Amino acid sequence: MRVAIFTGSSAGPQKHLEVATTFATALARAGLGIVYGGGKVGLMGVVADAAMAAGGEVIGVIPRHLVDQEAADHGITRLEIVASMHERKARMAAVADAFLALPGGAGTMEELFEVWTWGQLGLHAKPVALVDVDGFYRPLIEQLKVMSDAGYIKPSYLGSLGIVADADEFLRFVASYQPPPVRRRRGQGEDLG
């Protein structure tokens, strides 16, 4: 099993570095492979280094235009260089069996929301979770609840997004994961709302 980890190309606070290290180490020791953005910088690099140090498999997927900017990591199990950001996300999704967002910025959010939406659309049935380090994602979680209360996110979809604090909780979430009901087009027995 492989987990795609979305996280920042910046380092962030020390606590985030510690959690990224602990999380990647625990996943590698549990026998899970890591799929990530392929860079040596920021939390991405921390995740790759920690998983490799723990004897794990690490697959990096990086677009050609970011090879120099994010300092592509050639010291991992496998580095795949692709043509575009779209190809990067598609390849990571194809290789991964689950998705996880550690702290990060706009790119991390974009990756998280895309794979979570794909699950709602029935394009995959893989677990998607985020690691809430010291309340980092608390405002986002509250906004998602506001969206759900307003009718924009079905409760089953909101409930399908795992909110975890550590690797053990993530592994339990993955083991018990039930994908949300697939959205159907009108006339197929379920509304689009």
What does the pLDDT read at residue 192?
42
Number of domains the chain contains: 1
- Model's pTM, two decimal places? 0.90
CATH number (domain holding residue 76): 3.40.50.450
**Which residue range is the domain that position 97 belongs to?**
2-171
In-domain check, residue 35? yes
Residues of the chain with pLDDT under 70: 70, 183-193
Question: 111 burial class (0-12, 13-18, 19+ CB within 10 angstroms)?
Answer: buried
In a domain, 67, yes or no: yes
Residue 180 confidence (pLDDT): 86
pLDDT of residue 183: 64
Q: Confirm if 125 and 30 have CB atoms less than 8 A apart.
A: no
